[in-house]
Structure 1
């Protein structure tokens, strides 16, 4: 059997191997008349031989691994036992000193101390012996690990050679399976790299355990030597400590080598995986730099300080993308919101005399609703500014505009909150789950009048928008009849007075329906499944993702490649997002610095770029966004916000300038108002203080302004106090830095991401 730790390390490998169902060897059918029979036979024989050899070496490796595990456990037990004896010895030494100080009889204590010292020396000997035995077991395992890894690699290489022969044959013959055959080769090469990566991780784990046992034993031996009175024993302990330190130093070097192997294998995995699936081609990792890290942080979030950009850049391309996309690995935003259902009308309310009195009662109820909705808007803005998961909030904003719902129509903050949470919880999850959730979402059902969609009198609003706006796009092969039939699947889907989903069975049409040519007694759940099966759906969703994060009107090839990744992973969004953010095209000239900022990106991005971590009041930000045309929970219509040029007009441009200027001068923070630019610039070091315009450009612009452009702000820089006077003239310096920044942010370049 494989050791438990190896199986645990390779859980992900088993998932990855499932790729073979897509382009594996079993799918490659090549006629014997097309293949050089001798070459293929030889390659298949080599693959079988490699498999046999892998099986043989496994027995040796497994035996040595079991031996190492046993000796490691014995050494651990000896460390624990020796530690206990050492603590007892130290306690007796203290007791002897106390007795001597008190003038008490010390003979009994001395005798016990002598006995404990002998026990300590015996325990120390066992500690050193068992540690050396465990260390040797690890040293014996290393060559076997390497041999097992190499045999596994040889088997994979032999299998890849078989696939390469078949692929070349299919390509020469120009057969229909040529593309699948070539993808099978890429898949096999990708799996080989992944296996190398996982072996390096296993070997790092083995070595970390060696470090733990060597360092632990050395620590205990050093403390024993400190209290040891016998010179010979003391010398032996010192030699042991020195030897364990050498073991640890060698182990640290081995770990560094294995980490380098992981990095090298990772650089192979991503492009090979994309090639095997048919996704977008990744950016070469050597082309990753700070400017690209800034671009990624702005697009896959709202931006960040120069220090945050530097940290992301230092991660490297692959880890940086994983860091942002796998946001569930970090704590969620500390932003609780206690939402309450709407207050129901009193049964006697209708019997009150006079429209005025009844209006007063209804108005009070509506006032509570409006108050909670206002709190909900500011709660979401708080999450955008403060969340350690910026991509989660950026995706929530994307889906809010995609599955557009207006509070002014729904008039139920409880339902709007739960829709917002639905979008957030599935932000980078499965698009099918997201679509399923929307079909069952009370806010959406109310917004698109599905509460009026009943058997015998179908309302097409929800069905039409699901197809045209939410999943497939307009004119994508379905007919008006499909929309009518889809509306029948959604009959009876409604909500109760508290704003919770319910199905009224008597209003649901259970008869047979025909949607996209498929016949059955379909319901709304079936409709989602039928929509996901249409090729247009993956292309539509991929276009939406690309245009939101990269640029408008991507090529058909770009969309098809991203859609291939989405379909391959059964509409899981995380792999598609990773493929998008890793792609060379995402960092190309069409994408960088070309996207007009929506008001939220403009305002929230400015705050995050300038290190504003928290506001004491979000009402001003909410009002500014409304003036600029992006009121959260109130998109203009069911089509959502129109991005790009729609955000810019003469009137709105001045509003945008003023909003940024007001934020710089007066954004409310705990203990102060306005941005503390003195602290912000000083955090960049002496170079930033000597050239604040350059530092602010690097912090707020993507890409940064060229030095020639920065000359336009030279007069404002010269007007600043000398660097050594910034602290003594802090308020004056901060005001002048704010003025410099406001002028910089007023140029057209800042309106673009």
Structure 2
């Protein structure tokens, strides 16, 4: 694996030592050649894991402690000069079915084995995190009628709802025990993407709560039907404007091309037009343009069929004849045809394999997952079992690049930031409708939650995300993360924290020598492989021209530890998965 030029860490460390708080842009801009980073992203990588609870002076793990805890062994193989880990298969699974490994997850996977752990994740829902979300972001529980009443009648800015919804997504991803569930919620929110800000009444919150989340690990056929019967989708794809005599094809096109059969699904222009006519008359309870009515709050958002707006002429859709005089029942019949079509099985299988295996998934695996769709009637857990138990999945390590949300949430998880830090570092992580630095940097990196305007959802390929702008804003957030105060450490060891002012980075690499700091940081953030040359340069950077084994004070080590953590979390060994 080609290594990044780790000599850049010396310059980075000096800049951080000078003024961490005001030099974020300069640090990120100067840290390394952008082209080098992008080229390095193609190299193999391993995501590190870290303790979920707060780290203390006794909590930062050395390689030996990590080996003893999770059964892995970090050694130097003289034949190729790389740090090796015997548990690459465990880490590979956790990278793909979570927003980043934690020590707790690694330990549980080790104890249970892959099959039992996957089954537990398929069934798990984190009720505790939902209570926490309700307390932190109460507007996310509002029904459509309450959203309408507060925004339209009450005059409350709609962004109070949307910011809480976005923060809640990030909070669940960072802290929920049901990680596979949260990953699949993310998958289906992309698959059935709607733009958060198109509707001035943010029905997207209810769409996520009542459609996506209940079906995320259920049945795809039930999921798709639920999306069709929700006001958010009917509004976003303009079907509320689709009436006999004024047919609007937007929803029909995306329902076929993106949600079900796919671009190569075997349908033609005549099928698209027929489906648009079948969908005519389907709308939702809303106010007329520029005439908000308080009574609409009673039923706002509810999908309804307007018979007067339906095209009752005969139609032929995917070879099936629909006689004249049909009504609402036509849509149910059309959806059955769509959902039983082999094109839908292939398209859904491809979506799952793209997210969990590779940007260009193996055709044989896609076919096997499509077969499970057909055999089980669209059962999502059955399809996921086929993916996660396959040889293609096991052989796909390091073939995916983390998107910004995954990259930054996994950095939060890897550094051991817990719920207490999430609360007290509100300027970084956001509370209620305060978006926080995490959200703002995701916005600048191009992936603020639910803000993709086109209906195809955020791209899921390295080709799209391996650009200088994305990497810049990820690194700028990591600078802030590494330097922020660890409140959990302050409570667990208040005297040490008071005397030494420990940061999140200090907790990750708590050490008394330069070599120890590198050892601890690699053990807690990266489980290998990492080129021996890179390790040596990291030690040189931490030693700053001195003896790497000489005792150092915290004031001497802290600025360079923050630079070291930034470098590791910005490297391909962390960003590839």
Q: Given the superposition, is the C-alpha separation of residues 597 and 517 from structure 1 closer, same or farther in structure 2, using an over 3 Å criterion? A: same
TM-score (norm 2): 0.70
Residue of 240, 244, 258 corresponding to 1:469? 258
| Structure 2 residue 212 is the aligned partner of structure 1 residue 394 | no
Residues in 1 aligned to 2:90 and 2:240: alpha-carbon distance in whole angstroms: 47
Paired with 1:743 and 1:502, the residues of 2 have a C-alpha distance of 54
The Cα shift of 1:634 comes to: 0.8
User: Match for residue 534 of structure 1?
Assistant: 341
Number of residue pairs the alignment of both structures matches:
441
Say whether the 8 Å CA contact 1:610–1:675 is kept in structure 2. Answer: no
Q: What is the CA–CA distance in structure 1 between the aligned matches of 2:216 and 2:301, rounded to whole Å?
A: 22
State whether structure 2 residue 352 is matched by structure 1 residue 545.
Answer: yes
1:743 to 2:567 alignment: yes
Identify the residue that residue 310 of structure 2 maps to in structure 1: 508
Q: Does 1:676 align with 2:495?
A: no
Q: Deviations over 1:285-343 (max 9, x none)?
A: xxx96211111111101112234323312321211222322223875533113323224
Report the counterpart of residue 604 of structure 1 in structure 2.
409
1:650 corresponds to which of 468, 483, 495: 468
Larger relative contact order (CA 8 Å, sep ≥ 6): 2
Q: How does 1:354-503 map to 2 (within 5 A)?
A: 365=155, 368-413=157-202, 415-421=203-209, 422-497=211-286, 498-503=300-305
Most deviating of 294-303 and 621-630: 294-303
- Counterpart contact for 2:212–2:223, Cα < 8 Å: yes
Alpha carbons of 1:379 and 1:329: their partners in 2 closer, same or farther (altered >3 Å)? Answer: closer
* Residues 404, 639 of structure 1: 8 Å contact kept: yes
1:568, CA displacement in angstroms?
Answer: 1.1
Which of 615, 636, 640 is the matching residue for 2:457? 640
Deviation, 1:653, is: 2.5
1:730 deviation in Å?
Answer: 4.9
Aligned with 2:448: secondary structure? coil
**Match of 2:378?**
571
Map 1:338-357 onto structure 2 (within 5 A). 338=139, 339=142, 340-343=146-149
Gaps of 5+ in 2: 1-84, 287-299, 431-435, 491-500
Q: 1:300 aligns with which of 90, 97, 111?
A: 97
1:710–1:344 distance in 2 versus 1, CA, 3 Å: closer
Does the CA-based 8 Å contact 1:304-1:611 persist in structure 2? no
Q: SS at the partner of 1:408?
A: coil
CA distance in 2, matches of 1:652, 1:688: 34
CA deviations 1:651-690 (Å, max 9, x no partner) are: 33222222222222237867879853444446xxx99996
Give the deviation of 1:731 after TM superposition: 6.0
TM-score by structure 1 length?
0.54
Question: 1:636 Cα deviation (Å)?
Answer: 3.5
Q: 1:330 to 1:379 in 2, by over 3 A?
A: closer
Looking at structure 1, the residues matched to 279 and 127 of structure 2 have their Cα atoms a distance apart, in angstroms, of 38
* Contiguous gaps of at least 5 residues in structure 1: 1-287, 347-361
Change (3 A) 1:495 1:670: farther
Q: Distance in 2 between matches of 1:396 and 1:326?
A: 14
SS of equivalent residue, structure 2 residue 283: strand
Contact in 2 for aligned 1:332/1:389 (Cα 8 Å): no
Quick check: 1:448–1:461 contact (8 Å CA) kept in 2?
yes
Deviation (angstroms), 1:390: 1.4
Secondary structure of 1:475's counterpart equals coil
Superposition pairs of residues 99-138 of structure 1, within 5 angstroms: none
Question: What RMSD in Å do the two structures reach over aligned CA positions?
Answer: 3.1
Relative to structure 1, the CA distance from residue 669 to residue 417 in structure 2 (aligned partners, 3 Å threshold; closer, same or farther) is farther
Structure with a larger share of its residues in helix: 1
Task: Report the CA distance shift for 1:645/1:309 in structure 2 as closer, same or farther (over 3 A).
Answer: same
The 5-angstrom pairing of residues 288-327 of structure 1 reads 290-327=87-124
* Partner residue of 2:330 out of 523, 527, 531: 523
Q: Does the C-alpha gap of structure 1 residues 718 and 668 become closer, same or farther in structure 2, counting only changes over 3 Å?
A: closer
Q: Report if the CA contact (8 A) 1:412-1:443 is conserved.
A: no
**Alpha carbons 1:306, 1:698 under 8 Å: kept:** no
Are the counterparts in 2 of residues 335 and 379 from structure 1 also a CA contact under 8 Å?
Answer: yes
Whole-angstrom CA distance in 2 between matches of 1:513 and 1:708: 68
Q: Larger Cα Rg: Structure 1 or Structure 2?
A: 1
Q: For the residues of structure 2 that align with 1:698 and 1:492, how far apart are their CA atoms?
A: 60
1:39-50 matches, within 5 Å, as: none
Query: 1:311/1:709 Cα in 2 relative to 1: closer, same or farther (>3 Å)?
Result: farther
Summarize the Cα distance change of 1:657–1:677 in structure 2 as closer, same or farther, 3 Å threshold: closer
Q: Is the 8 A contact 2:101 2:414 kept in 1?
A: yes
For 1:738 and 1:725, how far apart are their aligned partners in 2?
18
Shift of 1:694: 4.2
SS of the equivalent of 1:335 reads helix
